[in-house]
């Protein structure tokens, strides 16, 4: 998870969303950010000033692991989704290759988890990222933190591997296709 010495700093794409702008969902059925997933996390991610983002996740009863506490896998998902969203700022489609999470404090149901994430380095197709989730406010104590390696892929990663039913539906939606194709131009 340590970037090689030759790794570069991340570059914000000139057409990246403005600081403070909501990124929007990349796919309405995404468990992390989609509005059509009843039990999903419904994460709303905002662009930061650099290659960084913030997001909020409200833990609901459907996200429990132990009584009244968030499931650790769900918290990892929130961190994963937040870090994956950094691709928008570089106009890269990325998928998670490796993710590691530290669970520092239990997170009760009803908590708003304040997430922030940034790219630490880029090495070819490899994007190194880091994220934290705080409770009690954006400056509150850290409850979870993660590091992840994302790998840049083309739209074909999804069209080649996704189940046909969902791919056909996604490709029939012009907004979805436009959103995915916009990432392929990455000067
Ligand atoms: C028209 C319909 C379109 C629909 C699309 C819709 C939306 C898309 C748009 C935007 C997406 C936006 C936001 C995303 C938001 C949230 C993200 C959530 C993220 C996820 O939830 S996503 C699901 C989980 N994710 C996977 O489902 C990946 C499964 N996996 C694979 O698909 C392959 O495994 C892949 C592609 C990762 C690599 O395969 P590959 O063949 O392309 O490349 P290769 O193996 O050569 O790796 C290249 C270099 O990465 C190094 N490397 C690779 N893996 C590593 C690892 N694990 N640890 C350490 N290093 C690793 C190698 O060592 C090499 O390094 P080096 O270059 O130095 O040799």
The question of whether 80 is a catalytic residue gets the answer: yes
Q: Ligand 1 mean position to 150 CA, how many Å? A: 6
What is the rounded CA–CA span in Å between residue 46 and residue 39? Answer: 21
Mean pLDDT calculated for residue range 56-66: 98
Q: Point out the ligand 1 atom lying closest to the alpha carbon of residue 161.
A: 32
What number does the ligand 1 atom closest to the CA of 180 have? 9
pLDDT in tens, 111-124: 999 999 999 999 99
Domain ranges in the chain are: 44-184
Separation of CA 126 and ligand 1 centre (Å): 9
CATH topology classification for 44-184:
Thiol Ester Dehydrase; Chain A (3.10.129)
* Burial 145-165, CB ≥16 within 10 A → b, else e: bbbbbbbbbeeeebeeeeeee
On the question of pLDDT at 98 being above 50, the answer is yes
What ipTM did this prediction achieve? Answer: 0.95
Measured N-to-C along each axis, helices 164-171 and 174-181 cross at an angle, to the nearest 10 degrees, of 90
pTM of the model: 0.96
Q: How far is the CA of 134 from the centre of ligand 1 (A)?
A: 27
What confidence tens digit (pLDDT) does each residue in 8-53 have? 999 999 999 999 999 999 999 999 999 999 999 999 999 999 999 9
């Amino acid at each position: 998870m340590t970037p090689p010495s030759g790794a570069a700093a991340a570059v914000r794409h000139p057409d990246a969303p403005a600081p403070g702008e909501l990124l929007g969902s990349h796919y309405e059925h995404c468990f992390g950010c989609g509005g059509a997933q009843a039990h999903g996390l419904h994460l709303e991610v905002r662009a930061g000033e650099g290659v960084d983002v913030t997001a909020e996740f409200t833990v609901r009863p459907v996200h429990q692991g132990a009584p009244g506490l968030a499931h650790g896998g769900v918290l990892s998902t929130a961190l994963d989704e937040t870090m994956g969203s950094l691709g928008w700022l570089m106009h890269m489609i990325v998928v998670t290759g490796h993710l590691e999470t530290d669970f520092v404090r239990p997170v009760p149901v009803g908590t708003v988890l304040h997430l922030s994430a940034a790219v630490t380095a880029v090495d070819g197709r490899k994007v190194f990222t880091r994220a934290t989730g705080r409770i009690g406010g954006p400056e509150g104590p850290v409850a979870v933190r993660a590091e992840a390696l994302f790998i840049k892929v083309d739209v074909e990663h999804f069209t080649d591997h996704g189940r046909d039913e969902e791919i056909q539906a996604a490709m029939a939606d012009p907004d979805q296709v436009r959103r995915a194709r916009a990432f392929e131009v990455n000067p």
